[in-house]
Structure 1
Amino acid sequence: MDFLKTSTIVGSVLLVGVGSALALTNPNREAYEAYATETLTQYLQEDICPKAPSVLPGLADVLADQCANLIESNQVPIQQLVASNTTRNNYIFFSTYHTQLAVPEITQLPAYEFETLGILQKFYTFRAEQR
């Protein structure tokens, strides 16, 4: 009986400890917005800007640089776009974030949808779709 009682106490303490650690390290919405802004900025600069259309031969590099500079100088609007298009589900020990990004005024730009898990002060995007 002593072993069962000791095991129960140790298990309970471990469970409370792990649960507390998860709850305390559940990242907040502001941390997600910073993560999503940084990730989106990197994607735009590395994948979208190099594809900037060239109107005249030899301008592709200049346009790509200008695109990257424009994105870098607009971090606040990008973060506001992320913030206004994100919903958070807080499950105490972790959170999930659903972000839908689209610019309805510019129909040539694709819309994106992201699902991200926030746990232990880290973020893991587990679904990213272009619509």
Structure 2
Amino acid sequence: MLNLRLLKEVGDLCFDVDLITSKFSEIDIYAAVVQSQIANSSLKLYIKNIMKMILQSRLGKSTLLFITIASAMLFTNPKKDTYVDYAAKRLTTEIQTSICRTPKLTQGLFWEEVSKITSNSCKSGLATGLTFQSSSIKEFIANSTEQQNFFVFSAYTTKVSQYNFKTIGVFGNFLTFQK
């Protein structure tokens, strides 16, 4: 009688069990299973040795490092929505900085305090107004921005009035250049 475990292993190899039992003896089937297990373990050992050689070589380490960095860049490449949020915050800060400059008043402690209060009032008032308009600002930036996705990083060009802002998004961060 054929060993049921042996038949299951052979059956797992996509053979018809009835066909096998009628054509081959138990010894033939067992020999075939053993040969496939030896071949399988030899293949695993061969692959393991190749991976070990690759990791031990300089080229292999460099390749592995390159693949790791490229994978990290791929998964941290910022999306356009993230860029729009970043650009809206940056634009809001730029507006506040350019409009709410501290006035240069006559020297003296009193006038320095008046300058700080004026500047802070301007910034808080603008911040309140800009907060109410944040969805409009984001929509404007989204419509004014062109994204080029290079998979490991993205390049964004935002056209505002006569300015072109070039931004690179990589590793979840942005670096902006003004043209």
Which of 141, 149, 153 is the aligned partner of 1:82?
Answer: 141
Contact 1:45 1:71 (C-alpha < 8 Å) held by counterparts? no
CA pair 35-4 structure 1, distance change in 2 beyond 3 A: closer
| Aligned residues: CA RMSD | 2.9
**How far does residue 95 in structure 1 lie from its aligned partner after superposition?**
0.6
TM-score, scaled relative to structure 1? 0.71
**How far does residue 45 in structure 1 lie from its aligned partner after superposition?**
1.6
Which of 64, 85, 93 is the aligned partner of 2:152?
Answer: 93
Q: How many pairs does the alignment contain?
A: 112
For the residue of structure 2 that corresponds to 1:30, the secondary structure is: helix
Partner of 1:69: 128
Output the amino acid matched with 2:62: G
Q: For the residues of structure 1 that align with 2:134 and 2:55, how far apart are their CA atoms?
A: 57
Partner of 1:17: 68
The CA deviation string for residues 79-129 of structure 1, in whole angstroms up to 9 with x for no partner, is: 000000000011111111000013xxxxxxxx3220001001000002x14
Identity %: 28
| 1:122 correspondence with 2:173 | yes
CA pair 4-82 structure 1, distance change in 2 beyond 3 A: closer
Output the amino acid matched with 1:76: S
Q: For the residues of structure 1 that align with 2:66 and 2:127, how far apart are their CA atoms?
A: 47
Q: Give the helix-richer structure, 1 or 2.
A: 2
CA pair 38-79 structure 1, distance change in 2 beyond 3 A: same
| 1:7 correspondence with 2:66 | no
Q: For the residues of structure 2 that align with 1:34 and 1:122, how far apart are their CA atoms?
A: 12
The CA deviation string for residues 45-96 of structure 1, in whole angstroms up to 9 with x for no partner, is: 2213559xxxxxxxxx987765443223200000000000000011111111
Contact 2:78 2:170 (C-alpha < 8 Å) held by counterparts? yes
CA pair 6-89 structure 1, distance change in 2 beyond 3 A: same
Q: For the residues of structure 1 that align with 2:61 and 2:121, how far apart are their CA atoms?
A: 64
TM-score, scaled relative to structure 2? 0.54
Output the amino acid matched with 2:147: R
Output the amino acid matched with 2:92: T
Contact 1:26 1:118 (C-alpha < 8 Å) held by counterparts? yes
CA pair 64-5 structure 1, distance change in 2 beyond 3 A: closer
The CA deviation string for residues 17-42 of structure 1, in whole angstroms up to 9 with x for no partner, is: 11101111111101100000000011
Alignment gaps of 5+ in structure 2: 1-52, 103-119
Q: For the residues of structure 1 that align with 2:173 and 2:121, how far apart are their CA atoms?
A: 36
